Amino acid sequence: MTDFLWGGASAANQVEGAYLTDDRGLSNIDLLPHGEDRLAIASGQKPYQAAAADAFYPSHEAVDFYHHYKEDVALMAEIGLNAYRFSIAWSRIYPTGLESEPNEAGLKFYDNLLDELLAHGIEPIVTICHFDVPKGLMDAYGSWRSREMIAQYEKYAVTLFERFKSKVKYWISFNEINMILHKPFTGAGLTIADDENRMQVIYQAAHYEMVASALITKRLHAIDPQAKLGAMLAAGGYYPYSANPEDVRQAQRANQENNFFLDIQGRGEYPRWTEHYFDSEGIVLDRSEADFNLLKEYPCDFISFSYYASRASKADTTGVDTNTGNAAGGVVNPYLKRSEWGWMIDPLGLRIVMNSIWDRYQKPLMLVENGLGAKDLVTVDGKIHDDYRIAYLQAHLDVIEETMVEDGIPLLGYTMWSVIDLVSSSSGQMSKRYGFIYVDRDDAGQGSMRRLKKDSFHWFKAYLAEKKSKAE
């Protein structure tokens, strides 16, 4: 595991803050408030304009990584990380999305960040679009409802490839592309009216995103033949709740829906079940011959995925707990423990996921998000004893090792979510903490932004040091 990428992960809208600094434009997540409106807006059911007038928007300041990145990168290096997955904010580069020239100040920020990382021996893994659409493109085109978005995204991605080609080898086109099924505003800046065919809007937008991803794979290979483009899926298999064939079929159906994205991005073809499904749901998509050719010719180079929890499916949910706390739905699995937010904790499920993705696509994998959201307490002497996080991560790392060694699955790297505390995507809370590094900031936006090292920080540092010494 010597050249294995051991890293942390984050997303621009969850860490950077400085939401208008250096001419950055507004993006979809800047319009997503903390509090009770968040879920309805995130799932595209309520327009963001209808949020309460005094709503608090946690992405605006986040944990101010924009001004703390040097300190934060130094802390990552102190842990011993050799990789960092982060995303670029589209609206720092093209503030409305529509400009013909990029914003130099935005490019400069990422140049500085990349230089800082490389100076510390940390390999960047860059997500081009992590739940991120400039508001200007939402206003002009209704976001990914429109084919126009493909050219806008291509312009943005090519700007990044040209500028950062000597510094970045691993690119990811869209974070958790399947999140569009559950939270289309978060995933793709979509708000869907009650009288619209919701799945028509979603599958059309997904098609354009996947064509855009294939197109930039083509562009990347021409600009930088060494670089690799990854697809990215929110993974976690659906288990049948029981051996009842109805439950088994239900789980199969849910897995097919999830695999839809990798089937197209990994194999270049729409799965066959979609034909009947689209017909029966009245879904008619704008898909051209040129799109199909592009999808076939430019599949992704590697498959990245997040894994937090597994899911369970049941055909008849009467009397069963469906409160899984997770956008992916399903029912509560009685065999598993759950996090404080109700997510099912299932290390063995990671082995199952890695095997099923590999069996299906035979492309190198990268686990780019895995971690535990939990409430952390700071003791009087400034310590954070997050043994629950250490236990979660250790259990998952053990499974990864077994899967690589015993099942022979190639994994390029592991970037733990989220290395540093940040704003939770689903809840908008700061108190749902994931980091090795604690940030003094609360759900209402109060706090000094001071960084503290949790017990997990020291534990992972020792874990990596041992790995390194064994490899030498």
369 binds ligand BGP (CB under 6 A): yes
How many angstroms separate the CA atoms of 108 and 105, rounded? 5
11 binds ligand BGP (CB under 6 A): yes
Give me 280's structure tokens. 């029966």
Interaction pattern, residues 379-418, with ligand BGP; x per rule: CB under 6 A:
--------------------------------------x-
Q: Which of 89, 86, 112, 85 is nearest to 102 (CA)?
A: 89
Which residues, numbered 180-239, are part of the site for ligand BGP (CB under 6 A)?
Answer: 234
Secondary-structure percent of the chain, ordered helix, strand, coil, rounded to 5: 45, 15, 40
Give the helix/strand (H/E) hosting 352: helix 347-361
Member of 132, 176, 247, 443 binding ligand BGP (CB under 6 A): 176
How many angstroms separate the CA atoms of 117 and 114, rounded? 5
305 binds ligand BGP (CB under 6 A): no
258 binds ligand BGP (CB under 6 A): no
Closer by beta carbon to ligand BGP, 123 or else 176: 176
Contact 22, 109 (CB under 8 A): yes
Q: How many residues sit in the footprint of ligand BGP (CB under 6 A)?
A: 13
Residues with active-site annotation: 176, 369
85 binds ligand BGP (CB under 6 A): no
How many angstroms separate the CA atoms of 59 and 170, rounded? 26
- Residue span binding ligand BGP (CB under 6 A) among the ranges 142-150, 222-230, 287-295, 422-430: 422-430
Interaction pattern, residues 119-158, with ligand BGP; x per rule: CB under 6 A:
----------------------------------------
| β pairing state of 344-345 and 238-240 | unpaired
- Residue span binding ligand BGP (CB under 6 A) among the ranges 39-47, 70-78, 253-261, 425-433: 425-433
How many angstroms separate the CA atoms of 437 and 292, rounded? 44
Residues 6+ apart with CB under 8 A from 129: 87, 90, 153, 173, 174, 175
DSSP conformation letters of 87-145: E--HHHHSSSS--SS--HHHHHHHHHHHHHHHHTT-EEEEES-SS--BHHHHHHH-GGG
Shortest separation between residue 262's beta carbon and ligand BGP, angstroms: 16
- Residue span binding ligand BGP (CB under 6 A) among the ranges 198-206, 279-287, 420-428, 436-444: 420-428
How many angstroms separate the CA atoms of 261 and 1, rounded? 29
Member of 424, 430, 433, 436 binding ligand BGP (CB under 6 A): 424
- Residue span binding ligand BGP (CB under 6 A) among the ranges 33-41, 143-151, 274-282, 421-429: 421-429
Closer by beta carbon to ligand BGP, 74 or else 444: 444
Q: Which of 89, 85, 102, 28 is nearest to 302 (CA)?
A: 85
What is the identity of the amino acid at 279? D
310 binds ligand BGP (CB under 6 A): no
Q: What is the contact surface with ligand BGP in residues (CB under 6 A)?
A: 11, 14, 175-176, 234, 306, 369, 373, 417, 424-426, 432
